């Protein structure tokens, strides 16, 4: 394949992402979106691609239906972001004379509120797993308990190894969280007990501590895939009889909601979630929560009682 084709540039870009340590799921999304772009652009040489060509590709994506429905604005924004990152890299690395995606703007999007799972539903869900005779029940209990009690994202949990957990101090260390840097997650005692059992099983089945993942899939040295986790979640959700609208992300929303209802501190919740902006945290919190009412009642009840006391 000639070196000046867009497909060759995409391969170089993917290699750049791998060297930068980007998550496997992120790289897979880039590959999918960019190779689709390559098919749309056809034989146009990278040096000849203009902003009109990029706009035409986006319009074709918007018009095309997937599984009978049009792509959401969030999906289109993800695809546009892939285009912008790719062409910015290509321009800065002097592979093309200009950036054709420079004027490509993201759509204003009002993110949907994530439905939080309740504490009662978590208990039913985990009990259903524990009481089953499924061969992977112990692994799944630890997996979904980790989601429920830490608020971690799906990819973050799947990347965990035994070396990421300090059982003495009761914390998990994430070396590559979504926002960059190193993140620390507190492990509450119910989860600590579950992880203790999980560690014994992993160490029994693995020789190398450095390659021991918490939640292996088909291979003992490789974590479960996102698809495998989804299949297991759907199975247990159905058996538990909890709300059909709940998703794996509902564990993260439930974590945020429970923490907010306990503390009433949005900034503390944002820190626990790893958010830099509290507006992002608000997507996970039930705005109909009784926290605000309790806070208002408590704040204005005290001076009222004090005035009544002086009146007598």
The domain limits of the chain are 6-92, 119-281
3 pLDDT above the threshold of 60? no
The CATH number of domain 6-92 is 1.10.10: no
Of all residues in the chain, what percent carry a pLDDT higher than 70? 81
296 pLDDT above the threshold of 70? no
Of the chain, the end-to-end C-alpha distance in Å amounts to 92
pLDDT of residue 21: 81
Confidence of residue 312 (pLDDT cuts 50, 70, 90): very low
Look at 140-144, 243-247, 265-269 and tell me which has the smallest mean pLDDT.
Answer: 265-269
pLDDT of residue 2: 43
Confidence of residue 310 (pLDDT cuts 50, 70, 90): very low
What would the mean pLDDT of 279-286 be, rounded to a whole number?
A: 78
Bigger pLDDT: 52 vs 307:
52
Distance separating alpha carbons of residues 170 and 245, to the nearest angstrom: 32
Of all residues in the chain, what percent carry a pLDDT higher than 90? 35
Confidence of residue 199 (pLDDT cuts 50, 70, 90): confident
Which CATH fold topology does 119-281 show?
A: hpI Integrase; Chain A (1.10.443)
Average pLDDT, the chain: 83
Bigger pLDDT: 256 vs 285:
256
305 pLDDT above the threshold of 60? no
Confidence of residue 59 (pLDDT cuts 50, 70, 90): confident
pLDDT of residue 64: 66
Bigger pLDDT: 199 vs 241:
241
pLDDT of residue 236: 97
Do 6-92 and 119-281 come out as alike in CATH topology?
no
The predicted-structure confidence for 139-191, as pLDDT tens digits, reads as follows 999 999 999 999 999 889 998 888 889 988 889 988 654 545 567 889 999 99
């Amino acid at each position: 394949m000639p070196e000046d084709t867009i497909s060759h540039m995409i391969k170089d870009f993917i290699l750049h992402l791998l060297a930068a340590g980007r998550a496997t799921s992120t790289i897979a999304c880039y590959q999918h979106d960019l190779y689709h772009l390559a098919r749309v652009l056809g034989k146009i040489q990278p040096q000849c691609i203009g902003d009109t060509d990029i706009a035409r590709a986006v319009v074709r994506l918007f018009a095309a239906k997937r599984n009978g429905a049009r792509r959401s604005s969030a999906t289109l924004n993800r695809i546009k972001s892939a285009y912008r990152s790719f062409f910015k890299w290509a321009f800065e690395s002097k592979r093309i004379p200009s950036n054709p995606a420079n004027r490509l703007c993201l759509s204003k999007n009002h993110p949907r509120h994530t439905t939080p799972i309740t504490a009662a539903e978590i208990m039913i869900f985990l009990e259903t797993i524990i009481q089953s005779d499924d061969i992977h029940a112990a692994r799944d209990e630890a997996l979904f308990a980790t989601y429920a009690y830490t608020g971690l994202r799906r990819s973050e949990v799947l990347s965990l190894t035994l070396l990421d957990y300090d059982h003495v101090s009761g914390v998990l260390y994430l070396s590559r969280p979504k926002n960059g840097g190193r993140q620390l997650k507190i492990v509450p005692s119910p989860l600590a007990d579950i992880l203790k059992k999980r560690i014994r099983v992993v160490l029994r089945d693995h020789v190398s501590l450095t390659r021991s993942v918490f939640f292996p899939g088909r291979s003992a040295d490789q974590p479960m895939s996102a698809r495998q986790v989804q299949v297991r979640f759907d199975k247990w959700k159905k058996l538990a009889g909890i709300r059909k609208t709940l998703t794996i992300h509902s564990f993260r929303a439930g974590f945020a909601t429970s923490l907010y209802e306990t503390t009433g501190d949005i900034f503390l919740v944002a820190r626990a979630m790893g958010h830099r902006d509290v507006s992002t945290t608000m997507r996970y919190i039930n705005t109909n929560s009784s926290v605000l009412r309790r806070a208002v009642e408590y704040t204005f009840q005290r001076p009222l009682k004090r005035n009544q006391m002086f009146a007598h």
